C-alpha cells in the first residue's frame, strides 16, 4: 500500500428533500391508478445509475474518505452512483399515492482502472435498495415511509482485506399519520461478518411520518468495519428521506 492511513471513515450519504421526491402512499383503499410499471432488473438499475438517470433528482450527495482527524483524504463522489425509478401513482380521494425504488451503489465500475493498493476502502462495494411510499394529501401535507430495504456487500478485490462486521440499521422518526404522536423506530442488525453477495432484507411495518416538517425522517445505514493490510477503516452508506436528521 503506497500510503497507510491508520483510521479511515468513508461516507456515502443520500439526503432526499421531500420536495424533490414524488409523493405516494401504499394505502389499503382502492383508488384510480394513474401510472404503473414493473421494477427494472438490477442490471438495468445499475445501468441507469451509471448514466445518471433519475425519475427524481436528489439535492445532496456526499461520498468522502476521511482520516482519523476528520480531514478529507480523497473525494469519492464520482465513484458513487444512484438512480430512482417511479413504480406507481394512485389517487385515493384527496391523496396522491406514489411508490419509488431507490438503488444506490458505491463504486460499481472502473475499479481496475485505479490503484487498488491505495484505495482500501474501495476493495468492496455496498449496495442499498429502498422502496418508498409517500403521500401528498390535499396537495399540502406530505407523509412517507420505507416499505422495504435491501443491502448487499460485494467483494471487489481481497487484497489483504478483512471485514470485521457489517451493521444494517433502519430508522424512522417523526409525527405518526395514524395518531399524530411522535414515533421513534429503530431496527439494527449486526453481521460478523456479512456474507459476500447476500441480500439482507428489512420490511418495516412502521407508520407513515410527516416529512415536510422540520423533523420527520426515515432511512437506513450500512456501517462496515474492515482492515486492509495495516489500515483500519469504516465505510458508511446512508439513505435518508425527510427534512429531519437521524441519530444513528
pLDDT, tens digit (0-9, with 9 covering 90-100), for 11-59: 555 554 444 444 444 444 578 999 999 999 999 999 998 888 887 655 4
In this model, does residue 225 exceed pLDDT 80? yes
Query: Rounded to an integer, what distance in angstroms lies between the CA atom of residue 62 and that of residue 239?
Result: 11
Q: What is the mean pLDDT of residues 115-134?
A: 73
Burial of 59 (C-beta count, 10 Å sphere; 0-12/13-18/19+): exposed
Contact 67, 83 (CB under 8 A): no
Contact 133, 147 (CB under 8 A): yes
Q: What is the mean pLDDT of residues 204-224?
A: 90
- Please state the pTM of the whole predicted model: 0.81
How do residues 150-201 score in pLDDT, each as one tens digit? Answer: 999 998 877 778 889 999 999 999 999 999 999 999 999 999 999 999 999 9
The pLDDT confidence band at residue 145, using thresholds 50, 70 and 90, is: very high
> Which contacts qualify for 48-51: CB closer than 8 Å, 24 or more apart?
48/83, 48/85, 48/103, 49/81, 49/82, 49/83, 49/103, 49/104, 49/105, 49/108, 50/81, 50/108, 50/109
The residues with which 183 forms a beta bridge, in sequence order, are: 174
pLDDT value for 201: 98
- Which DSSP helix (H) or strand (E) runs through 47? helix 42-51
Amino acid at each position: 500500500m503506497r500510503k497507510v492511513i491508520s483510521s479511515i471513515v468513508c461516507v456515502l450519504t443520500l439526503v432526499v428533500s421531500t420536495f424533490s421526491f414524488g409523493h405516494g402512499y401504499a394505502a389499503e383503499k382502492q383508488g384510480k391508478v394513474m401510472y404503473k410499471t414493473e421494477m427494472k432488473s438490477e442490471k438495468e438499475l445499475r445501468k441507469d445509475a451509471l448514466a445518471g438517470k433519475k425519475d427524481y433528482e436528489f439535492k445532496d450527495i456526499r461520498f468522502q474518505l476521511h482520516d482519523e482527524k476528520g480531514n478529507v483524504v480523497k473525494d469519492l463522489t464520482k465513484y458513487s452512483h444512484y438512480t430512482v425509478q417511479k413504480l406507481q401513482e394512485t389517487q385515493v380521494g384527496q391523496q396522491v399515492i406514489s411508490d419509488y425504488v431507490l438503488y444506490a451503489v458505491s463504486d460499481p465500475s472502473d475499479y481496475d482502472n485505479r490503484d487498488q493498493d491505495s484505495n482500501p476502502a474501495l476493495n468492496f462495494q455496498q449496495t442499498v435498495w429502498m422502496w418508498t411510499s409517500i403521500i401528498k394529501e390535499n396537495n399540502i401535507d406530505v407523509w412517507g415511509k420505507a416499505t422495504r430495504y435491501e443491502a448487499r456487500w460485494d467483494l471487489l478485490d481481497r487484497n489483504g482485506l478483512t471485514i470485521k462486521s457489517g451493521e444494517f440499521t433502519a430508522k424512522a422518526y417523526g409525527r405518526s399519520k395514524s395518531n399524530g404522536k411522535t414515533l421513534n423506530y429503530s431496527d439494527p442488525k449486526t453481521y460478523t461478518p456479512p456474507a459476500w453477495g447476500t441480500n439482507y432484507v428489512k420490511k418495516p411495518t412502521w407508520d407513515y411520518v410527516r416529512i415536510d416538517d422540520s423533523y420527520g425522517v426515515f432511512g437506513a445505514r450500512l456501517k462496515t468495519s474492515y482492515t486492509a493490510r495495516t489500515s483500519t477503516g469504516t465505510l458508511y452508506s446512508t439513505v435518508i428521506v425527510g427534512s429531519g436528521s437521524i441519530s444513528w
